Chains A and B, each alone.
Chain A
Amino acid sequence: MATDKVYWKGFDELANTEVSQRLAQNEFAGEIPVEQFLGDEKLMGSAQTSRRDFLKYLGFSTAAATLAACEAPIVESIPYVVKPDSLTPGMPTYYATAYADGQDFASVLVKTREGRPIKIEPGDAGRFNRGTNGRAQASVLSLYDSARLRQPVKAGAETNWETIQADLQQAVASSVAEGKQFVLITGSVFSPSFKSVISALRQNYNNFVHVEVDAVSSSEVLDVWEALTGVRALPSYALSNADLVVSFGEDFLSGSTAQQLSKAFADRRKPGKGMLRHIQVESNMSLSGANADKRIKIKPSQVGSALAYVYNQVSGNNVTVGNLSEDVKGLLKGISAELSSAKGRSIVMVGGNSGANAHLCAAINSALGNIGSTLRPDLPVFICSGNDNVMANAMADMAEGSVGALVLVGVNPAYNRVGFAEALGKVAYSLSLCDRLDETASLTSAAAPIPHYLEAWADFTPTISELALAQPTIRPLFNSKSALEVLGALTGNTQSSKDWIKGTVAGFGLSWSQTLHDGGASLSNNVSISLSETSAKALAGAGEAASVAAEVVEGDFELALYQKTVGAGSQSNNPWLHELPDPITRAAWDNYITISAKDALAIGIVNETQSNGALNGSLVTLKAGNLILQNVPALIQPGQAQGTIGLAVGYGRSASGRVSDGLGVNAYALNLHQGFGAIRIEVEAGEHEFASTQLGNTMMGRKIVNEVTLADFMTDPSGASWNEKPTYHTLDGIKTADESNLWTNHDHESMHMWNMSIDLNSCTGCGACVIACHMENNVPVVGKAEIRNFRDMHWLRIDRYYSTDMTEARAEEENIGAIGKYAAMEVPGESPEVVFQPVMCQHCNHAPCETVCPVGATVHSREGLNHMAYNRCIGTRYCANNCPYKVRRFNWFNYQKNERFTDVNPAQDDYGRMVLNPDVTVRSRGVMEKCTMCIQRIQYGKLEAKKAGQPVADGAFTTACAQACDTGAITFGDVNTSGSAVQVAKNDARSYHLLEEVGTQPSVFYQTKVRNRA
């Protein structure tokens, strides 16, 4: 029967409005981004694709793929002509070497496969600063940076080394003839071979000047220690002897020797009697501050006065103390009392580059008798030795035109020193030996490539008692030449850098092959530093230093510079470092000022969460004297001291490479050589889009990170009162989550059962594990826009939670209702405590993801792992939705091919692809991925055991994250092996599962964090 009924979708259509007419013409209200999903935009051209075209492409590509699959692909298998003995195809080869990039130093092992370095691992036990921070981990990708300089360049055109060498010789000769200076600018030099070249240059050329300059200077601090000890080096910290650490703005957990300090710090913070207590006094929320038991907010300009005040308190002296509020004085009085009761077992550190502050700090340590026990000027560290005075003189000479020849080795002062670029213009001949045509090298007369540390021979004496060797792990990718050889040739010494190093090692009386194998050797050198004399000098000069410190003018706003994981700038073009969200702010791919909520409100800075969950923030202009920095994003940072802002260096590059150029602002342009200074802030129009990976800032009263105070931990070691297991009321009575179980259990007894323990007490949140995971598992880099969409691909993330001022108890006391309570709980406190929690796939034994997969792509193994078969996955994403831990990552794009990721994804160029781990599949578009607990390492480790005919030994292999962790926070192993570290951890009273009430029975568990509150 026919009907004349008319259906309409809404009243609009009934009225047939303009809008509904327009909608009726377009089937879809918004445009369907077909090209975006088809991936290869080049093929699609600029033409719009209709749906029919789309179907045509689909049909054609299906048919083409089917036909193509019928043909046997011709794959060539090309063996070596002469295979190197040390290499077995398919097996890794390890080399001990030393990582030094002008900022950090680390003893590392380099894993190579078929001659390609693919992973950086911690060096031999016993080597100085063995271990890998984020930068050391990521450094292997910098080797394969296609922005590296490939050929020597002269006046913008490619040339050869002979020309470079001849020009240099000529320029140096004419500078001698003209009576002008020959200046060599390097980073801190602690290589004995390089030192011998420099002294040879000094002998050969009486117009020779050597300048050492660090991107982030410690020059004034070094001046102080040189005056105190006679040696221009920083003292080392012996945290193992300390019960109390008081740090005034020194971020020792991410500094240049952080690997060994973090380890010592974590070792001394094992919960129990004598647990190290850590107090941080600072303006920015640093990594060290986030890990402190007590954190005091203070302006950078007040640090000197605060130190003077503490000095007076602990020594009984009466030096000048600048302006300090009574509140701060009260807090400092408490610290002083604690310090006084831990004489000889405490340590006071100071950050920044203020000589007065450094001297006062030394004086406090002297007064406390710490020098020689916790602070060791007699074990100096030579990693940092830049001298700003010498640099200033050299720049003045350059500006005057009295420098005839200038050679720069691995430094970029045009980027990080205000005024250098102008001075450089007055130099007759300048040569930059550099890794890329950076800001400086693009201004010099000539530039020539030096090898990456993984391609070169080098030696280092980071301390008086350590010789570290660096050896090549790959043939140089480009036409590079070691600076040692270039400068050596000027002195008539044409030996290769290997022979230089060999000679140096022989000079120390060491065996070449043993030293090379171990990556270095201990030296029996001593430096003659009198501890008592140092102490006496420190105490004597305290009054003078205090009066200098008291004169520091307080600004309305003060800026303190800091470093993110990207560092000072030498590895700015490394996408892994940018992709890692900042441990504190959780924002990636940016630098920004951090400002307190109160200040932000006062000057009109807004941070707003958008409807898609992403964060937008105001832009500001910073003015320091007549220096101006525009378009600086502002991020509200809980725990930031009022009247202060923080800004990270290492961004705002203009000639570093496609990854980093134009990213962020250059904080060096404000010329704050002490690392802090007064600043003016003006809010600009416009918004900045942040790429933050975490918005929920607090735990909202839930037990996600379990915490206990040391006192409670000591009174109840069983954990019954502070580590309660969730229970359910059932028909059969009260049951734990494990007991009230719907599922049948897997067999986990007959083979292995891989478990992982994460000690939240040891985790400092540094993020080295995330980068290690990234490189081990070929995790794609997705870039800022995708991270802003919360499509980051990290298999392992480190959640950061702030404490809030609102608690259940307070809500009850003040009679605040549930809505008000939870609303208040969302807001982090003004001086919050911070916790970090690494979260990866928990490998649940009753995994919610497994039950919802329609194709059985994710299944359980009898070794306690949750397997993920990429080729079965059809991309329904049910698993990710059903995962209570939100650890599954979906490949929204083919990141290795799609053009929108060309700038950021290293796998898109031939060099960057070399870093991929050949044992791990590179995932394609449309599949889910997640942490596998490094199954490739497990399988490899088991096979090695089988090949040797032995049972798997505890600790024989471990995951990439556990290996990268300097503090040993991550323990991995077979829980079926009795006495294994992970079994011990599992039975510990502190152990708990994340969201245990869900009943997923994870293979990963956490150890309760213990706070040493006084």
Chain B
Amino acid sequence: MNRSKPPFRMRFFATKLFRVLTIALMVSALTNPLQADVDAELGKKLFKANCASCHKLDKKLVGPALAGVTDRHSEAWLLSWVRNNAALRASGDAEANAIFEEYGGSVMAAFENLSDDDIKSILAYTQTPPAAPASGNLDVVPAPAAEVKTDNTTLLVILGTFLVLFIFLLLRIRNTLKEVNGDVGTTVVQDANALTRWLMGNKRFMTGFTVVVTVAFLYQLFWYLMGIGVEQNYQPVQPIAFSHKIHAGDNQVDCNYCHSSARSSKTSGIPSTNVCMNCHMYIDGSEIVNEAGQLKYAGEGSPEIAKIYAAIGWDADNRTYIEDYEQMPVKWIRLHNLPDLAYFNHAQHVTAGQVQCQTCHGPVEEMDVMYQYSELTMGWCINCHRETEVKTANGYYAESEEGTQTINERLAEKFHDDKITVEKIGGLECGKCHY
């Protein structure tokens, strides 16, 4: 291997950095020709890429808040600290060691790759935190335009009214014509009575009417009864306004990260509060920007995320867990309520069957408020078991003990080339789900 050539990762980083720098230079050349090398916008990018996991501008995170850091330390010191703080500490620098001690000996990584100008750019960013961007800022993901549902109820009502008026008008005209003819006029009520009497007397109409009403009633009754216990689209208000869209959709958090037991256990598991804290120890929602581009909670943490802190006893200001705190679990409202008589196992479907979560739970990554997507009726289960093919590559089917045929071989003997659905291996048998 050519020694002079930097390792791949380094090269990649260098290329990336070069590109960033080039773009930054071009941008800065346009915006601020006087400060060609030091640029707060570039600093912001570099800050986000390198520093944000441990530092905030206005708040202590793992490391100190960086706003006004240039007032507290000299630029030269800061440069050498950022470049290699360990070396600086090793050199016996009192200031460096004091900070190290203050933050409990958490080691900051060395950033040898950053040029002086890069660091200065970052420092410039920390010095002048850009005011909330007025428009077109990078943080706001434009919300997709809500799909306008064409609701024609109003139109129908108007049409209906017109129709009634029209009939009324016609009746009045008829009556007027009658009166013109010298006949005795009738009121609308009398007309209606006459019509009813005529209809009541008409056997054909009455038979047809009875049949239609009965069928309609039975139809409605049937579907009403069939719907008892089916809670499709059930969407209760949860104690925390948790959005799957933000987590699974926008931020692409894997379902299994929070619902980790879905792979191994019968229950998918509601994540315990400490799992939330893995991320929310750092994300308190203070940076959420509203549609107007302003900080939604005026720089404070989100009150919804604060509910997590209240449950587990996290002191957001001092960034510690409160000792002897009386923790209170979050009482979520359960959405998917299978009756006790049915046994369902997530691991069977997720791990063995390799079914996607969305198959049953719907487009969770698009749901701000979670709802029950599927019917969860037995017919719904059975239909899927009839159609779904078994993942026969699993060693359970494909391998066997010495001297025994594999299940795949045995199934092939019986079903030949037919596709092996869950039904064919006994997936419709009562005792598979009811015991």
Could you list which residues of chain A lie within 8 angstroms of chain B, going by C-beta atoms?
66, 69-70, 72-83, 88-91, 747, 749-751, 857, 859, 861-863, 865, 867-872, 919-922, 932, 935-936, 939, 942-943, 945-954, 976-980
Contacts and interface: CB of A to CB of B under 8 A. Distances in A.
Interface in B325-364: 327-334, 337, 340-341, 343, 345-348, 351-352
Given A861-B426, A950-B396, A77 B431 contact: no
Contacts of A871: 341, 434
Interface string B307-323: 00001100000000000
Given A80-B273, A921-B341, A936 B435 contact: yes
Given A75-B337, A751-B410, A859-B429, A91 B264 contact: yes
B129 interface: no
B345 A81 contact: no
Contacts of B328: 81
B348 to A, nearest CB: 5
Interface residues of B, number: 60
Q: Which of A82, A872, A921 has the most CB of B within 10 A?
A: A82
Contacts of A74: 236, 333
9 contacts: A74-B236, A75-B334, A79-B271, A80-B274, A80-B329, A82-B327, A872-B430, A943-B352, A946-B348
A76 B272 contact: no
A747 B411 CA distance: 11
B147 interface: no
Given A90-B265, A978-B401, 9 more contacts: A76-B332, A76-B334, A90-B266, A750-B410, A750-B414, A921-B340, A942-B396, A978-B403, A979-B401
Nearest to A942: B396
A82 B434 contact: no
A83 to B, nearest CB: 4
Contacts of A942: 396
Contact of A751 (B229, B394, B426): B426
A867 B334 contact: no
A780 to B, nearest CB: 16
Nearest to A863: B426
Nearest to B415: A750
B198 interface: no
A951 B400 contact: yes
Contacts of B334: 75-77
A139 B229 CA distance: 40
Nearest to B325: A81
A75 B399 contact: no
Nearest to B401: A977
B407 A81 contact: no
Given A751-B426, A861-B426, A943-B348, A72 B231 contact: yes
B175 interface: no
Interface in B392-430: 394-396, 399-404, 406-407, 410-411, 413-414, 425-426, 429-430
A335 to B, nearest CB: 48
A952 B398 CA distance: 11
B298 interface: no
A869 B271 CA distance: 33
A943 B345 contact: yes
B11 interface: no
Given A749-B410, A942-B396, A952-B396, A932 B332 contact: no
> Ordered nearest first, which 9 A-B pairs have the shortest CB separation?
A867-B431, A90-B265, A949-B395, A83-B272, A946-B352, A77-B334, A80-B272, A869-B430, A79-B270
A303 B312 CA distance: 69
A921 B435 contact: yes
B122 to A, nearest CB: 36
B253 to A, nearest CB: 17
A635 B76 CA distance: 101
Interface in B216-240: 228-229, 231, 234, 236
B265 A91 contact: yes
B267 interface: yes
A429 B428 CA distance: 68
Contacts of A978: 401-404
A72 B234 CA distance: 8
A69 B332 CA distance: 22
Given A750-B411, A977-B404, A932 B430 contact: no
A857 B434 CA distance: 11
Nearest to A70: B228
A753 B278 CA distance: 47
A950 B395 contact: yes
A951 B272 contact: no
Nearest to B430: A869
Given A69-B229, A70-B228, A947 B352 contact: yes
Contacts of A859: 429-431
B261 interface: yes
Given A82-B272, A943-B352, A869 B434 contact: yes
B178 interface: no
Nearest to B393: A949
A337 B364 CA distance: 82
Contacts of A954: 401
A932 B431 contact: yes
Contacts of B333: 74-77
Contact of A747 (B270, B311, B414): B414
Contacts of B413: 750
A81 B396 contact: no
Given A865-B431, A950-B395, A81 B348 contact: no
Contacts of B19: none
A926 B352 CA distance: 36
A113 to B, nearest CB: 11
Contacts of A750: 407, 410-411, 413-414, 425
Contacts of B341: 870-871, 921
Contacts of B261: 88-91
B340 A749 contact: no
A66 B351 CA distance: 38
Contacts of B332: 76-79
A336 to B, nearest CB: 51
Nearest to B346: A90
B401 A81 contact: no
A1011 B432 CA distance: 41
Contact of A949 (B343, B394, B407): B394
Interface in B225-282: 228-229, 231, 234, 236, 261, 264-267, 269-275
Contacts of A69: 228-229
A978 B410 CA distance: 14
B329 A89 contact: no
B269 A82 contact: no
Contacts of A73: 337
